[in-house]
Structure 1
Amino acid sequence: MSWNQFEYSTNNGKPLTLYEFIRNEQKYYRYTNADRNIDFNGVTWISEAISNTGLSIGTGNSLEITLPSTSDVVRLFRGVPPTKPVVIKMYQLHENDNEFRVIWVGKIQEVKRESIEKAKLITASIASSFERSGLRLTYGRSCPYALYDHNCRIWQDNYKVANIEIIALDGANITVNLPNIASGYFSGGYMEFYIDGIKELRGLKAHVNNVIGILGGTQGLHKGMHINLYPGCDKTIKTCNEKFNNHLNYGGQPHIPGISPFTIVKLF
């Protein structure tokens, strides 16, 4: 029988929902609401107490998924969330039928701990990103570009300080074994490290001597871990020129007059 025949059948339909969570396109977490594990598409989908709010016309671009708080997916969001959004794909099929339908593709936006046993994932569909207003470039003295992006044009690997060892941490800051680098060099930059083979990024706050503040705290880091550090930028033309020699790509207008031409100035 075809998928439609199962779906609209009075007695033969045995619908199953498969949930696939994808982290950084490297690690997959697969669950099903069936009463036992399901082998489908060459992989095993783990039976779990998982459910969703359902899809219907007028529900918009959001979907809520409830699952046990002990789930590996929920654990990802305890403390600092993953650097890249976790993608969710939902499939609908019927038992003993190889035909399936993709019914939802989205990203996890938030995780709420509803009780000790349950957590709720708040997801948004991929289509919702097409409805957002685009960002507009505005004029200002400071540079509006993100450091190392396609507008900035700085190649970050040229400034990477690699294989730096963490020698101490206190929850908010790390102490590292730095070479002879002046204080402030990494302020506003970011660090790169790996957890379970997956690359994670975390922003840096103030850098003083060999102590660096970490945005979001030091969860996931440990003494003896080796990390890569990238310097930051304060978005001024002076730093762009002296630190990165990149003033030709500077996105700000540092010579804007101090008085707006639209301001009424009374001369008499």
Structure 2
Amino acid sequence: MTFEAFETSDGRPVELLTFINGALTFNYTNANTDVIVGATTYTPLEYTRTAPSLSKDSDDGNVKITIPHTNPVALLYREILQSNITSVTIQRFHDNDPAEQVQVFWKGEIGSVATADSRTTILAIPLSQGQDEIPRFTYQSLCNYFLFDSGTCRIVRDDFRFVATITSIDSTGRFITINGLRTRAGVLDAGVSGALSSAELDEYWLNGYCLTGDGELRRVVKNPAGISSPLDPDTIEIPYPFVSASASDVITVFSGCKRDTDICVRKYDNIINYGGWPTVPEVNPFTTELPKGSRSSDSNFTRFS
């Protein structure tokens, strides 16, 4: 029998789910035991998915896949936005098919990831949608560049870091105290155009990130001392706890940026590489009517009142 015949008769479908992110490959199946296809082993995973949507809307062909929040694929997106595209391939075969015909059911890439409670929902988009071109830069006053990007921002990352050991981690795992963090901010500020204020030094690491010796990355979402908090100025907040970090472990913290011209000048002295348009006019001359003018001289100049 052909694969199509099993699909429309008494077939016993088994699904194979593959995620590929750079050098990382994750192979899963909805079967209760390992499934071996060629040289590849697919391990059981408790997941659900929707059928590919069929409409003329922008979400045409999308698939939502829900997996445990502790799954390695989910953890990839709990740290820092991935620079690699994660491809998604869904294959099917029938357990009672002696020929073990495996067919690709759907193929695309991860478009977005959201975690709530103990489940992570992945919105996977078809390849055709992922290849749509979008503007790389936006006409805006804020900088479009990624901080420390060697081709655009050009700031050397290691010039704005603090390598130390973790002093303590609170019970939630999200507030990390590193003795000397605030002092290091003051040292890094020395010699750069325009000194930062005390409040700005308190928030020196905000929007930066930290890296453990095991290679785990987390964004710095708050410098608690910079938001009128009674917490120690050597404390930073991260969105999710590290998997294995503990007190006395080595950690590296990299500074952050507000992406405006003022901080670009005074914190990094890097305005020559600024990636925004700070003088964007508030009035669009192409859509706003100019005020009526009056003839002011015989030279045909017009004065606007």
TM-score, scaled to structure 2: 0.62
Match status 1:109 vs 2:113 = yes
Deviation of 1:42 (Å):
1.9
Do the aligned residues in 2 keep the contact of 1:191 with 1:204 (CA within 8 Å)? no
Closer, same or farther in 2 for the Cα pair 1:254/1:73, shift >3 Å? closer
Match for 2:15: what amino acid?
Answer: T
| Matching residue of 2:34 | 37
> Equivalent residue for 2:14?
16
Range with bigger deviation, 57-66 or 226-235: 57-66
| TM-score after normalising by structure 1 | 0.69
The structure with the larger Rg is 2
What is the identity, as a one-letter code, of the residue corresponding to 1:201? R
Q: Counterparts in 2 of 1:70-219, with a 5 A limit?
A: 72=71, 76=75, 81-84=78-81, 88-95=88-95, 96-97=99-100, 99-101=102-104, 103-107=106-110, 109-111=113-115, 119=119, 121-127=121-127, 128-131=129-132, 134=135, 136-140=137-141, 143-149=143-149, 150-162=151-163, 164-170=164-170, 171=172, 172-178=174-180, 180-181=183-184, 182=186, 183-184=201-202, 185-193=204-212, 199-206=216-223, 211-216=234-239, 218=241
Give the strand-richer structure, 1 or 2: 1
**C-alpha RMSD of the superposition:** 4.2
For the residue of structure 2 that corresponds to 1:7, the secondary structure is helix
Residue 167 of structure 1 and its aligned partner are, at CA, apart by: 0.6
Give the whole-Å Cα distance in 2 for the aligned partners of 1:90 and 1:198: 30
Identity across matched positions, percent: 22
Cα deviation, 1:99-137, whole Å, max 9, x if unaligned, reads 542623332522456xx9xx5734221543445853653
* Rounded Cα–Cα distance in structure 2 between residues aligned with 1:70 and 1:148: 30
Equivalent runs, 1:253-264 vs 2, <5 Å: none
Quick check: 1:94–1:100 contact (8 Å CA) kept in 2? no
- Equivalent residue, structure 1, for 2:297: none
Letter in 1 for 2:234: V
Structure 2: distance between partners of 1:248 and 1:133: 26
